[in-house]
Structures are given as C-alpha cells and as structure tokens.
Amino acid sequence: MPTIKRGKVITITSMKGGVGKTITTLLLAAFLKKEQKRTLIIDLDLYNGDIAFGLDVDIKSSIYNLCDDMANNRYKTDEESSYIIKYDEYIDILSSPKDPRQATKIEGKYLEMILKRYINKYDVILIDTNHILSVNNMIAFEMSDAIINIFTNDAFDLKNTRNFMAICENIHVDNVYLVLNDALGTKKEHFSEYEIKTIIKNNISYVIPKSFYIKGMDKAIVDGRLFTMIDKVITNSKDTLMFNEFVKTLLKTGGDINEKE
C-alpha cells in the first residue's frame, strides 16, 4: 500500500509558565528554516499567546476565526490562506485569539480538523501550548509525533515535570522529550544533573545550553527583533550542532500515513 508523505507535528509544552517555552518554539522554527522546512506555528496558548508578538506580525485573523468559520459553515478551502499569517518563505503562523475571551469558544474537535487539514501542507507543525492540561492541549498531545516538555532547574518545576510524566505513563504517551532549559540567564543552579534525574524519575533528553541565552531579549521583543536575535544564536558552534542533531531526532519520530485504497 503506498504511503503519503506528511508533516511532523511537534508540540512544545511545560507544567508552569516562564520556562522559555515560546522562545524554544521560535528557536526550533529558526533551525527548521535553516533546513528549508516549511513550518506552521500554531499558537495554542489561547489566553496569552505570544508567537505573533514575538515575530512582530499583525494579527488579522486567528485560530478563533478559523474554528468559528468551521463551526458555522463559513469555511472555504480556497480562502484558507486568509487565516494564516505568512512570516517569510518558510514560516507561517496560526495565531492565538486577539481577545482571550474567545479562547473558551475553541472546541477540540476543530483543532483536530485543523491539524488533519494542514498536516500534508507543511513539513513541520509546531504547536506552542500553555501549561494547563486542557482538552485542546490533550488533543495536541494525542496527534503529535513528538512532545517536548520544557522545564528548569527549579524544585516546583521538577515536581510538576515528574507529575506530568506520571500522567503520560498512565495514558500511554511515550513520545515525550524532556528538555532542561539552561538558557534563561539565571545563575541559580539548585540541583545537579544527577539530582534532577532522580527527582523527575526520567532521563533528560536534551539541555538547552547557556550559550543560547539571548542578552537584551525583552528589548528585542518590544523592538520586533526577537527572531533576528534568535537567528544569531545559530552558529557553527558545538552547542548549535548538538541542537541540530536533537531537531533531526525529533523529525525522525512518528511516520508517514498509509494511503487508503
């Protein structure tokens, strides 16, 4: 039976805010761009999404408008590009709602329809979530080839990460990559790597190195230069090459789908 080449779905999540989840999503997008992979970033942080803001693009239409049109039979396939914000040749964005009150009106069944519709149009779909185990996030997990859980060297964060992995085990989710973010610019190092592994009861899949810290990041966001600053992180250093290998590992997860006869 022939197969259809489809894109990979990678969801980036965390069990608390402020761990660098959105920045990691944009970092992944920057690496995928270097590899000339057409990438759709879906901002599923429906209440406080920052992808569009981080890339300094105007939100003309969002995931809310797309779901609302689907729900009310206004969706037209020949106009689907109107929901997508084009950042450049390789990166497109499906933004979170402008108004957080619209977040509650986005039903999981429409998220599933969106993923099925766009999975064959892109090489990679990156889904940036919030830290709540909502229905929409659980659907994203279920449809993902890989789930990246970002965490930091913080006691509460490590405890939450351990709980998250216990939940994943209970629901038989085994495609989770645990990524320790060491690039936040903090000098605190509460636990050793051995202690972290002991606390979370799992191995660390990858460590985002301190060299990826973006100096002056807040000002870069306000000035609309964040993605430019992220792009500068990508050099020919050992750290960059190791991150590139991690990205390639993510792209090998999952598989193509069988074409129905």
Say if 161 falls within a structural domain: yes
Say if 114 falls within a structural domain: yes
- Taken in order 8, 34, 239, 196, the sign of the CA dihedral is negative
Range scoring the smallest mean pLDDT among 29-33, 45-49, 222-226: 222-226
Say if 259 falls within a structural domain: no
Please say whether the beta carbons of 29 and 127 come within 8 A. Answer: no
Summarize pLDDT for 126-156 with one digit per residue, the tens: 999 999 889 999 999 999 999 999 999 999 9
Q: Name the pLDDT band for 219 (thresholds 50, 70, 90).
A: confident
Summarize pLDDT for 50-83 with one digit per residue, the tens: 999 989 999 989 999 999 999 998 887 767 778 9
Q: What is the mean pLDDT of residues 173-177?
A: 94
Three-class DSSP category at 234: coil
Say if 261 falls within a structural domain: no
Cα 55 to Cα 110: distance, rounded to the nearest angstrom: 25
Q: What is the CATH number of the domain that holds 119?
A: 3.40.50.300
Say if 260 falls within a structural domain: no
Say if 257 falls within a structural domain: no
Summarize pLDDT for 73-129 with one digit per residue, the tens: 888 776 777 899 999 999 999 999 989 899 999 999 999 999 999 999 999 999 999
Closest CA to 107 of 50, 46, 42: 46
Say if 21 falls within a structural domain: yes
How many other CB atoms are there within 10 angstroms of residue 22's CB atom? 25
Strands 85-86 and 91-94: antiparallel
Look at the chain and report how many structural domains it folds into. Answer: 1
pLDDT value at position 63?
A: 95
Strand partners, 119: none
Token digits of residue 228: 């430019």
Which domain does 31 fall in, by range? 3-252
User: Average pLDDT over the chain, rounded to whole?
Assistant: 89
pTM of the full predicted structure?
0.92
Say if 258 falls within a structural domain: no
Q: Name the pLDDT band for 4 (thresholds 50, 70, 90).
A: low
Q: Is the pLDDT of residue 27 over 70?
A: yes
Strands 3-4 and 257-258: antiparallel
Q: Each residue of 29-47: b (16+ CB within 10 Å) or e?
A: bbbbbeeebbbbbbbbbbe
